[in-house]
Structure 1
Amino acid sequence: MPDLFVSWPEYHQKIEQLAVCIYESHWPLNQIVCLARGGLRIGDVLSRLFDLPLAVLATASYGGEAGQLRGSLKIAEHLTMTTGTLGSHVLLVDDLVDSGTTFQEVVGWLTHHHGADLQALRTAVLWYKAGSSFQPDYYVDYLPDNPWIHQPFERYEHTSPAELKVNP
């Protein structure tokens, strides 16, 4: 499996490209839900650009020393949001779609827990890997060779606050 290394400028450029793609679709979204942790930065930027409320749903499926071991998906018990109800046209955002399992399960979770509010749900990612069983509605890059993506914030997974004090 090849590796894809992404810098901060490239990462931000991808988010902006995703925003343009969503904007050009003219889809009337009125709420953004991001999956934490990978979709937090993306959801925050899209929420600001589209001037829409942001909701956060924590999920976890990767762990291990290198963060490359996929385990069973864990989904938070509640969606965190500042609005009284979920919007009717929700954009579900994450950084990438790898196997597709997370999106499939979260779409089911949102439908089960907030189905009365939802009229339409679309999905958006920066990277769509060919090995995924789930196709997002919006994506920036399709990756036919399923690379491991090294994102710019990955260094914080291997750095402690004490190390920052010594090596700022």
Structure 2
Amino acid sequence: MLTDDGKHLYVSWDEYHQLIERLALKVHASGWEFDQILCLARGGLRPGDIVSRIFDRPLGIMSTSSYRDDGGTLQGRLDMAKYITMPKGELAGRVLLIDDLADTGVTLRAVVDRLRAMPAITELRSAVIWVKGVSSYEPDYHVETLPTSPWIHQPFEEYDAVRPEALLKRYKI
């Protein structure tokens, strides 16, 4: 649900899963065949996992981080993992890159540039749920465009503030 001021978008678990399914359908409708999926951790983990299961393709993971300051709301320096985790072999062939959103576009652009420099990758396409209006990168597939570039409150973010002690209290353990 987008707030009246257009500055915040609140997404429930059901909406989140429906958006991932719609992303999978967009990729499917394109007719493009791919060999592997690479998701960007952390935001792309859940979409990558679900799309990997729907298409029955191997899932690789690349860790990136840029939102660390001010409780994860301010973009800082972009860090990209040196290694990509694959279940078997190397990242190669036709690769679908998945993340949750194209925010500023800086992370996606940097990852795409790095992947395109890898000779084993013959074709690369990108897919995200949301593209913000301020994004400098346009992915190949996306579900929603957000012209006002709101802050997206994803359902799993509640765990950003949960610590084991709180769970102990919640479950009276």
What's the TM-score, normalizing by structure 2? 0.93
Equivalent positions of 1:129-140 (< 5 A) are 129-140=132-143
Could you give the per-residue CA deviations for residues 39-81 of structure 1, whole angstroms, max 9, x where no partner exists? Answer: 0001000111000000000000001243101001000010000
CA distance in 2, matches of 1:19, 1:87: 21
How many pairs does the alignment contain? 166
State yes or no: 1:117 paired with 2:117.
Answer: no
SS of the residue aligned with 1:66?
A: helix
Shift of 1:137: 0.6
SS at match of 2:71: coil
Structure 2 equivalent of residue 157 of structure 1: 160
- Residues 116, 124 of structure 2: 8 Å contact kept: no
Runs (4+) of structure 1 moved beyond 3 Å?
none
Partner residue of 1:53 out of 43, 52, 58: 58
Provide the aligned C-alpha RMSD in A: 1.0
Q: Distance in 1 between matches of 2:156 and 2:62?
A: 20
1:145 is matched with which residue: 142, 145, 148?
A: 148
Tell me the residue number matched to 1:43: 48
Offset of residue 103 of structure 1: 0.7
Equivalent residue for 1:102? 107
Is residue 2:36 matched to residue 1:20?
no
Structure 1: gaps (5+ residues) = none
Corresponding residue SS for 2:120: coil
Deviations 1:14-52 (A, max 9, x none): 000000000010001111000000000010001110000
